[in-house]
C-alpha cells in the first residue's frame, strides 16, 4: 500500500502534506493538480506532516490536493542509451518534450524503452556474481556498454541462465540470477539507483596515481589533475570559468564526459548543444557528442531540481565508471547548487549558518566530492570519475563558505584571478594561488617523470619558482620605480613573463593553441626554461623589456603554429637569432 496524503500548506515551492502512513526522508511523491502530477521530495517530517520540496512551479496548488508517495528516493535510470542524451536535472529527456516551453508534469522516460540492443554475454550459467559484475555488453556509440548485476543486490548470486548473443529490447530479461536461498532475480538491461547514495560496488579505491591530460598547459604542466581526482575552479564572474570548462570537456583524455549545468545560464547550455554535435573528439575522430551526456538545469528551472542535478550527473558517472571507463564530470556551478540548498533551508526556516547557508554545507560538499575517484572493479580493471566543479564565490571572495568548504574537499585548486582576466591573460588561472596536491604524491611524481621526462617534476617546480620570483621583482619595481632597482630585477621579471605569455596563457579560441598535447607542453616548457637559464647583456631596462617582448612574440607565434611544422621551426629559428643577439657568455 502506498502512503497517500493531502496538501495542507504552500510556501512557494515548499509544500506541507498531511500523510496517512509511513514516509521516508527523501522519498519521492507526486502531487496531483487537476490531473497533472508534480514531482516532489520529502525533506522534513514532523508528526504526520511531511514537508516536500516540489520540483515544479506550485502556482495554482490548493489545500486538499491529493498526494501519492512512491516508496523510493529520487532515482536515475541506468542502461544503454544514456550517451548523447540531454537531460534535465531529474533525468527527463528534454528532446522528448513537446512545445517550446517546459510544461509542468511533462515527465519523459530517461531511456528509450522500446530500443533494441546487440547483446553479447560475457558470463556463462553457473558463474558466481555480485553487484556490478559484468554479465554482457552492448555497443553504445563507441563504448562497450556493460550490462551489470544490479547495484542494489547485496548477496552473492549464481547465474542461472543468460540469453545468447542477439538483439534484445531494453526491458527484456537477459539473465536470471539465484541467491543462496534459491530466490531468483530477473535482470534486464536497465536498472535504477537512488541519486543521493554513492555506488560503491567495486573492490577498492586506491589513491590516484595517473594524471589526466587536458590540453590546458597551466593545468597539465603546472597543476595537473589526477585521473579520478577532484578539482575546483573558483572565480568571480567574467573570469572565464565556463570557457575553461568547455575546453576541458572538449579536450580532456576521458572516455566519457558528463556536463552538469547546474542553475546555469540557458544560452551557455545552448552553446554546448550547438557546438558539441559538430566538434570532433581529437582522440577518436568521432563526434564529441557521442561520448557526452548533458544534465541541463537552467537557472530559471525550479530550484529543487537544481539541487538534484549534480547528484543525477554523479550517479550516471559512477555507473559508467563501473564499466571500466574514464569519466570526466564537470559541474557548473556548484555554488548555485549550494544556493539551492540555502533557498530550501531558508524556506524550512532553519537557523542559518555562515552567509545564510545551511549548517551542514561543508559536510554535504565533502560527501559529494568523495564520490569521485579511481577504483579497481571486481574484475581487477580500473575505472574512474574525475570531478571538476566551478565555484562562483559571492563578490569574488574566496573566503565565503562554498569556496572554503570546497577547498577542503577538492585536491586541485584552480583560482581564477580578476586581475589576470582584466588584462586578458587567459586562462585566468593564477598559477601562484593555485595548486595541485597530486603533484606532491610520490606515485604521481613517479608517473610524471616516467611518462613525460625524467626530470619533469623538478622542472615544473623550477618554473613555478621563476614565476614567483618574477612577481616579487615586479612588486619591487612598482615600489621603487623602474630605475630604482638593479637591471637584474627587470631581467627576472621578464623571464617570468615569458612563462606567463607562453605557458600559462593559452588562446582558447585558436584552433591550434587551444589544445596542447603533453609532448608539445614538454617541448615548450623545456624551451622556455632553457631561455630562463640564459644570461643576456642589456644597456638599460627599456632595452631589456623591448628585447624580451620580441622573444615572447616569437614563442607565441610558435604556439599558434602546428607543432613541428615548417612554420613552427621558422619561428623557432627566428627565436634563436634573437636569442643570439644579446647572449652573454
What is the rounded CA–CA span in Å between residue 23 and residue 502? 59
Other beta carbons less than 10 A from residue 111's beta carbon: 19
The residue ranges of DSSP E strands in 124-182, in sequence order, are: 128-129, 134-140, 143-148, 157-162, 166-169, 175-179
Looking at 35, 47, 64, 442, which residue binds other proteins (CB under 8 A)? 64
Residue 396 in the binding site for other proteins (CB under 8 A): yes
Alpha-carbon distance 293 to 330, whole Å?
11
The residue among 110 and 199 lying less far from other proteins, judged by its C-beta, is 110
**DSSP secondary structure letters along 255-271:** SEEEEEEEEE-HHHHHH
Binding mask 69-98 for other proteins (x = CB under 8 A): -----------------x-------xx-x-
Binding status of residue 47 toward other proteins by CB under 8 A:
no
Pairing of strands 14-19, 49-54: antiparallel
584 lies in the site for other proteins, by CB under 8 A: no
Mark 6-25 with x for binding to other proteins (rule: CB under 8 A) and - for no binding.
--xxxxx---x---------
> Does 207 help bind other proteins (rule: CB under 8 A)?
no
Reduce the DSSP state of residue 180 to 3 states and report it.
coil
User: CB count, 10 Å around CB of 103?
Assistant: 10
Instruction: Indicate the SS3 state at residue 340.
Output: helix
In sequence order, which residues have a C-beta less than 8 Å from that of residue 221 and are 6 or more positions away?
460, 463, 503, 521, 525
Q: How far is the CB of 471 from other proteins (least distance, A)?
A: 15
In the 3-class helix/strand/coil scheme, how is 190-215 assigned residue by residue?
Answer: CEEEECCCCCCCCCECCCCCCECCCC
Contact between 67 and other proteins by CB under 8 A: the answer reads no
Instruction: Spell out the residues 6+ positions from residue 66 whose beta carbon is closer than 8 angstroms to its own.
Output: 4, 5, 6, 31, 32
Question: Which range, of 156-164, 347-355, 363-371, 377-385, touches other proteins by CB under 8 A?
Answer: 347-355
User: In the block, which residue shows the cell 625524467?
Assistant: 454
Residue placing its CB nearer to other proteins in the complex, 210 or 342: 342
Q: Which of 104, 145, 464, 495 binds other proteins (CB under 8 A)?
A: 104
Of 141-149, 269-277, 316-324, 514-522, the window that binds other proteins (rule: CB under 8 A) is 269-277
Distance CA 520, CA 504 (A): 14
48 in contact with other proteins (CB under 8 A): no
Asked whether position 163 contacts other proteins by CB under 8 A, the answer is: no
Is 355 among the residues that bind other proteins (CB under 8 A)? yes
If binding is defined by CB under 8 A, does position 476 make contact with other proteins? no
Site for other proteins contains 542 (CB under 8 A): yes
| Contacts (CB under 8 A) with other proteins, residues 405-434 | 422-424
**Binding of other proteins by 277 (CB under 8 A):** no
Q: Which stretch binds other proteins (CB under 8 A): 109-117, 165-173, 251-259, 537-545?
A: 537-545
Nearest 5°: CA angle at 15, between 9 and 18? 65
Asked if 335 interacts with other proteins (CB under 8 A), we say: yes
* Pick 162 or 259: Cβ nearer other proteins: 259
**Applying CB under 8 A, does 63 fall inside the site for other proteins?**
yes
DSSP strands (E only) in 273-325: 292-298
Residue 360 near other proteins by CB under 8 A: no
Half-sphere exposure of 40 (CA within 13 A, CB side): 34
- When the beta carbons of 18 and 172 are compared against other proteins, the nearer one is 18
345 in contact with other proteins (CB under 8 A): yes
Closer to other proteins by Cβ: residue 526 or 567: 567
What is the sign of the dihedral through the CA atoms of 217, 222, 227 and 228? Answer: negative
**437, 556, 574, 579: residue in contact with other proteins (rule CB under 8 A):** 556
Q: Of 208, 321, 198, nearest to 255 (Cα)?
A: 321
- By CB under 8 A, the count of residues binding other proteins is 82
Of the listed pieces 127-135, 334-342, 363-371, 378-386, which binds other proteins according to CB under 8 A? 334-342
How far apart are CB 151 and other proteins at their closest, in Å? Answer: 29
* Residue tagged 558528463 (cell numbers): 258
Give the DSSP letter of residue 237.
T
Taking the chain, what is the end-to-end CA distance rounded to the nearest angstrom?
A: 89
Q: Which of 180, 380, 481, 539 binds other proteins (CB under 8 A)?
A: 481
- For residue 119, the cross-strand partners are 166
Shortest distance (Å) from residue 238 CB to other proteins: 4
* 187: Cβ contacts below 8 Å, ≥ 6 apart: 135, 147, 149, 150, 173, 174, 175, 176, 177
Q: Please say which residue, 297 or 378, places its beta carbon nearer to other proteins.
A: 297
Q: Does 61 participate in binding other proteins (rule CB under 8 A)?
A: yes
Q: Does 274 bind other proteins (CB under 8 A)?
A: yes
342 sits near other proteins (criterion: CB under 8 A): yes
Region near other proteins per CB under 8 A, out of 51-59, 151-159, 188-196, 199-207:
51-59
Let me know: does 225 contact 211? Beta carbons within 8 Å. yes
At closest approach, how far in Å is the CB of 229 from other proteins? 26
Interacting positions 502-521 with other proteins (CB under 8 A) = 509
Q: Does 235 bind other proteins (CB under 8 A)?
A: no
Amino acid at each position: 500500500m502506498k502512503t497517500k496524503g493531502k496538501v495542507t500548506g504552500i510556501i512557494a515551492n515548499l509544500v506541507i502534506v498531511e500523510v496517512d502512513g509511513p514516509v521516508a526522508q527523501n522519498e519521492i511523491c507526486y502531487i496531483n493538480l487537476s490531473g497533472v502530477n508534480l514531482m516532489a521530495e520529502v525533506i522534513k517530517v514532523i508528526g504526520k506532516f511531511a514537508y516536500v520540496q516540489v520540483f515544479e512551479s506550485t502556482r495554482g496548488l490548493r489545500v486538499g490536493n491529493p498526494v501519492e508517495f512512491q516508496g523510493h528516493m529520487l532515482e536515475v535510470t541506468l542502461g544503454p542509451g544514456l550517451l548523447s542524451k540531454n537531460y534535465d536535472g531529474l533525468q527527463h529527456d528534454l528532446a522528448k518534450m513537446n512545445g517550446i516551453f517546459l510544461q509542468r508534469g511533462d515527465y519523459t522516460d530517461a531511456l528509450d524503452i522500446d530500443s533494441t540492443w546487440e547483446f553479447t554475454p560475457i558470463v556463462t550459467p553457473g558463474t558466481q556474481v555480485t553487484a556490478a559484475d559484468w554479465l554482457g555488453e552492448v555497443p553504445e556509440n563507441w563504448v562497450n556498454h556493460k550490462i551489470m548485476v544490479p547495484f542494489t543486490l547485496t548477496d552473492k548470486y549464481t547465474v542461472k541462465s543468460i540469453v545468447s548473443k542477439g538483439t534484445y529490447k531494453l526491458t527484456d530479461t537477459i539473465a536470471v540470477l539465484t541467491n543462496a536461498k534459491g530466490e531468483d532475480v530477473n535482470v534486464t538491461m536497465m536498472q535504477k539507483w537512488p541519486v543521493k547514495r554513492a555506488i560503491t560496488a567495486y573492490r577498492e579505491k586506491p589513491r590516484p596515481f595517473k594524471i589526466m591530460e587536458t590540453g590546458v598547459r597551466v593545468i597539465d604542466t603546472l597543476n595537473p589533475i589526477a585521473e579520478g581526482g577532484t578539482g575546483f575552479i573558483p572565480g568571480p564572474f567574467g573570469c572565464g570559468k565556463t570557457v575553461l570548462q568547455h575546453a576541458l570537456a572538449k579536450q580532456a583524455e576521458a572516455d566519457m564526459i558528463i556536463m552538469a549545468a547546474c542553475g546555469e545560464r540557458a544560452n551557455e547550455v545552448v552553446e554546448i548543444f550547438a557546438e558539441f554535435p559538430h566538434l570532433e573528439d581529437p582522440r577518436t575522430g568521432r563526434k564529441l557528442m557521442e561520448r557526452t551526456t548533458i544534465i541541463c538545469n537552467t537557472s530559471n528551472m525550479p530550484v529543487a531540481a537544481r539541487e538534484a542535478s549534480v547528484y543525477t550527473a554523479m550517479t550516471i558517472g559512477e555507473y559508467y565508471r563501473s564499466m571500466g571507463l574514464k569519466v570526466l564530470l564537470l559541474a557548473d556551478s556548484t555554488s548555485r547548487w549550494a544556493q539551492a540548498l540555502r533557498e530550501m533551508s531558508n524556506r524550512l526556516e532553519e537557523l542559518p549558518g555562515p552567509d545564510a547557508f545551511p549548517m551542514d554545507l561543508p559536510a554535504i560538499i565533502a560527501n559529494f566530492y568523495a564520490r569521485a575517484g579511481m577504483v579497481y572493479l571486481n574484475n581487477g580493471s580500473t575505472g574512474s570519475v574525475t570531478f571538476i566543479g566551478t565555484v562562483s564565490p559571492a563578490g569574488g571572495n574566496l573566503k565565503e563558505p562554498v569556496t572554503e568548504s570546497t577547498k577542503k574537499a577538492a585536491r586541485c585548486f584552480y583560482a581564477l584571478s580578476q586581475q589576470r582576466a582584466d588584462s586578458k591573460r587567459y586562462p585566468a588561472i593564477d598559477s601562484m594561488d593555485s595548486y595541485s596536491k597530486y603533484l606532491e604524491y610520490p606515485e604521481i611524481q613517479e608517473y610524471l617523470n616516467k611518462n613525460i621526462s625524467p626530470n619533469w617534476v623538478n622542472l615544473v617546480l623550477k618554473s613555478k619558482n621563476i614565476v614567483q620570483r618574477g612577481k616579487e621583482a615586479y612588486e619591487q619595481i612598482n615600489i621603487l620605480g623602474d630605475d630604482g632597482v638593479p637591471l637584474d630585477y627587470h631581467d627576472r621579471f621578464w623571464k617570468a613573463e615569458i612563462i606567463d605569455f607562453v605557458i600559462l596563457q593559452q588562446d582558447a579560441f585558436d584552433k591550434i593553441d587551444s589544445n596542447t598535447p603533453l609532448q608539445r607542453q614538454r617541448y615548450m616548457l623545456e624551451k622556455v626554461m632553457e631561455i630562463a637559464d640564459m644570461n643576456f647583456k642589456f644597456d638599460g631596462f627599456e632595452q631589456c623589456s623591448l628585447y624580451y617582448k620580441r622573444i615572447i612574440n616569437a614563442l607565441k607565434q610558435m604556439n599558434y603554429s602546428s607543432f613541428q611544422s615548417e612554420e613552427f621551426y621558422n619561428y623557432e629559428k627566428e627565436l634563436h637569432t634573437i636569442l643570439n643577439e644579446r647572449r652573454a657568455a
